[in-house]
Amino acid sequence: MARFDLTDEEWAIIAPLLPKQGRGPERKDDRRVLNGIFYVLRTGAPWRDLPERYGPRTTVYNRYIRWGERGVWQGIFEALAQECEDALVLIDASIVKAHRAAAGVKKGELEEGIGRSRGGRTSKVHAAVDAKGRPLRLAISGGQLHDSQMMDTFLNWDTPPLAIVADKAYGSGRIRQQIADEGALAVIPSKSNARQQIPHDANLYRQRNVVERFFCKMKDMRRLATRFEKKARNFLSMIQIFAIRCWAN
């Protein structure tokens, strides 16, 4: 087994969630294909440089693209995330620089979640994680977008959490009210220049480092430390594949 390949334990978790074999030619070895995708995710290698042990690179690449378009990666991730019964949700966002290979999308970079700021072309990954740092919800936007504008992504939980922890960027009155409407406690410090300082649970807020550690772990994946994908759908698929590995671990 190569360094980044799925262990037997991880494969036992993921295998039952894969799409069933449909009509047509028999699908190539799923485990080998997934190992090839994980290799690219971890090393950041171009698809053309995929080692031969993972089979034809076109097979691995096409599976990654087609399953992303069909929502397979999202479905697996959401199925695993449903196992979470944690009462604490931590949210944050992190900037990812877009490589020049991600530039030049026909319908416009902004529509594909690539923005321009002082740092050049960037995307922003938004995430909600549980108290163990396992991702619950994911989204991407242009790097110039303020974190708070993606808050709707992290509302409307089937089972509302007891508390939602976030930094000052989410400290507006509107967001606090949205969290209260969810039946959750907003653990968000007030900005220093706020007219009214709203108290927060300092002990719970210290746990915000959990979501920060999630992003550090995410950026150990070289394919996510820099964005290479032109299309937002493909970039989000790569993040979801990382999330699947987090849960399988």
231: which DSSP letter? S
User: CA 102 → CA 49, 81, 96, 119, distances in Å?
Assistant: 18, 29, 12, 15
What three-state secondary structure class fits 218? helix
Interval 112-127: pLDDT, tens: 889 887 778 999 999 9
| Mean predicted lDDT score pLDDT of the chain | 91
Q: Percentage of residues in the chain with pLDDT exceeding 70? A: 97
What's the pLDDT score for residue 107?
67
**β pairing state of 163-165 and 88-98:** parallel
Q: Which of 10, 24, 44 is nearest to 218 (CA)?
A: 44
pTM, entire model: 0.93
* Segment holding 129, helix H or strand E: strand 120-129
Interval 56-100: pLDDT, tens: 999 999 999 999 999 999 999 999 999 887 889 999 999 999 998
Quick one: pLDDT band at residue 151, thresholds 50, 70, 90? very high
What's the pLDDT score for residue 105?
73
Q: Which of 108, 211, 193, 100 is nearest to 154 (CA)?
A: 211
221: which DSSP letter? S
What's the pLDDT score for residue 224?
97
